[in-house]
Structure 1
Amino acid sequence: MSETIRIFLADDHPVVRDGLEAILSTQPDFEVVGQAGNGRSTIEQVAETKPDVVLLDIEMPEMDGVETLRRLRAANPKERVIMFTAFDTDERIVTAVQAGAQGYLLKGAPRSELFNAIRVVHEGGSLLQPIVAHKLMQRVAQPPEPPLEQLTPRELEVLQELALGLQNKEIAAKLVISERTVKFHVSAILSKLNVGNRTEAVTVAAQRGLISLDGR
């Protein structure tokens, strides 16, 4: 039996929260453990319920989603958060990713994409909708680009697997190396690309032609 993924919903519209809970309840491995309608309440309740994944809207009263995300990550750097919002402007996406979001989905996304994003992020991966990734790639493209320290062939292999949303354990098994070695490579990749998290690393690498977002 698969592990239950405990999910917290943060959105200022009760109808949206209730609808999401109904949709997520169709999956046997999902459990909604709490809801909140504003940023401050989200921070308080997440600390109490300790969910595995937080679905967080950007526009909320008292404290917006990005600031809420920053505070959640400050309290727990391992907090796994997916921005689930109607806003798809470049600046919103970039700000959320820089704040530490592991996923960014638009509210019009198919259920299958939402379910997959939750499972990928729960396992330690990062996932952006293709349309969001495209916008982020365009936003970070600011020529002339500063030279990057060259990635090794193995680091490029690991980076391509990150783009597929694989977690360290899965990458280790696929490349026949230890999980500790994968962590070492990921750390080196972030440093060489001058980024703060895996999502940014994948986006920058794809924009510079180092990897393909579709896995080819």
Structure 2
Amino acid sequence: MEKRTPRPGGDDTKSHSERPEGGGPLTSVFIIAASEVVRAGLETLVGADERFTVTGSAADWEVLAEAPPPDVVLLELGDASGISFAELRNVEEAGADGDAPALVVLMADLREERITAALDFGVRAALPRNSTSGEILAAIEGAAAGLIVIHRDALDALRDVNASTAVTAVTPSPSSEESLRDVDRLTPREVEVLGMLAEGLGNKEIASRLMISEHTVKFHVSSIFAKLGASSRTEAVTQGIRRGLIML
């Protein structure tokens, strides 16, 4: 296992370098890629941006357990990466006490089921490996801010499989009055699914518990998003709690 490559001036507590001229803390990024060449390229790209600081790089996720978690993990899932989606859960759980890093994944395979699996395992941003420098940097910033970032190529892959789901997912959020009216139309099954989203369950786990297909789960999730004016699972759960639909 390749050891973590620390940056100069680092220590063993989670801390941030300051932006020039007192602009606030930098977003810390750790890079994981099987290829040394890819790691070096990504480290150069991210490290050159004044918004970020690269805390290290490695060939696999296990090294994250040896140091405080960064804000973002940039992970290349190439053909030879040797990293499975199940191991993404380990990356997410590398941060204790709710301090897990946001996952930004560069994917070689943009099939719908691969993208869905990545999102189910906690990925915050899914991009193709040939994404531009600007796209990668924007995804890191968005993921660090708590957003879900889907590259247009990944969205096209989802749209090709289920156009109605993709259209629903990008529907603008309704006004407060419209949203409240839509909540009244949330079906009992949708409330049940929303509760399971609050438990952190993925589509496959929800389908198994309710004994329905994953496709049906995706339909329910998309409907919940539209009715609550949410653009992510976290936002949907937050709206559900605020409106008394679910309790934690």
- 1:114 corresponds in structure 2 to 136
Amino acid at match of 1:69: L
**Structure 1 gap segments, 5+ residues each:** 144-150, 158-187
- Give distance in 1, aligned partners of 2:226 and 2:196: 10
Amino acid at match of 1:191: L
Contact 1:2-1:29 at 8 Å conserved across structures:
no
User: Which digits, 9 at most, give the CA deviation of each residue in 1:76-99, with x for residues without a partner?
Assistant: 454310111222122211111111
- 2:71 corresponds in structure 1 to 52
Higher relative contact order (CA 8 A, sep 6+): 1
From the superposition, tell whether residues 110 and 62 of structure 1 become closer, same or farther in structure 2 (CA, over 3 Å). closer
- Give distance in 1, aligned partners of 2:195 and 2:41: 42
What's the Cα RMSD here? 4.0
- Give distance in 1, aligned partners of 2:222 and 2:160: 10
User: Do structure 1's residue 97 and structure 2's residue 116 form an aligned pair?
Assistant: no
What is the TM-score when the length of structure 1 is the normalising length? 0.62
From the superposition, tell whether residues 61 and 118 of structure 1 become closer, same or farther in structure 2 (CA, over 3 Å). same
User: Which digits, 9 at most, give the CA deviation of each residue in 1:188-213, with x for residues without a partner?
Assistant: 8x81896959xx89x936998998x9
**Structure 2 gap segments, 5+ residues each:** 1-22, 166-172, 180-190, 202-217, 232-248
Amino acid at match of 1:55: L
Identity level (%): 21
- The match for 1:69 among 83, 88, 93 is 88
Q: CA deviation at 1:5?
A: 0.9
- 2:194 corresponds in structure 1 to 191
- Give distance in 2, aligned partners of 1:36 and 1:74: 17
Question: What count of residue pairs does the alignment treat as equivalent?
Answer: 170
